[in-house]
Amino acid sequence: MSTPFDGASQSGTPRTRLNSVPADGGGGGGGGGGTNVDTQRLDEAANALVELRGDTENVDNGADDDCLSASRGLNKHTAGGMAEGGSWATAGSLVTMDVRWGSQVLNLKRLLQDISDKLHTTSGHYTRTEQEERARQNAISTPFG
């Protein structure tokens, strides 16, 4: 499956490549070349992370439902009392694991959102800087017309 993060690959394995440098190598400091940032790719990557965040939430909801259903199922056959108040140790462990899972999912969603926000911000900064530089270049008057 290809994502906006995938770059050209010689070995068949995708590599991350959001920015580009001249094909003749480069990569070091100095020299006259500049970095070309593809803001569309940055935005695509950020949007893919937003979509992944939503998918993560959907998977989490399914896991919550399954854990709680299994816990209730184990306790349903407990003698006396409500199913939620049963005595199966495994049922309580399932609920504990579900709470841990939920905590990890929240952390992952925060990270995905943070990275997505930063990609969008970076794209906006590059776009704004490029527009300002273009305006500055256009404002320069030369005696050659």
User: In the numeric block, which tokens belong to residue 115?
Assistant: 């990275």
Could you read off the pLDDT of 33-47 as tens digits, one per residue? 667 888 899 999 999
Q: DSSP string spanning 74-85? A: HHHTSSSS-GGG
0.75 exceeded by pTM:
no
Cα 104 to chain centroid distance, Å, stands at 15
pLDDT reading at 141 higher than 50: yes
> Exposed (0-12), middle (13-18) or buried (19+): which is 138, by Cβ within 10 Å?
exposed
Task: Give long-range contacts, CB 8 A cutoff, 24+ apart: 102-111.
Answer: 102/60, 102/64, 105/56, 105/57, 105/59, 105/60, 108/56, 109/53, 109/56, 109/57
CB atoms within 10 A of CB 98: 19
- Most confidently predicted of 61-70, 74-83, 108-117: 108-117
How confident is the model over 22-39, as a mean pLDDT? 63
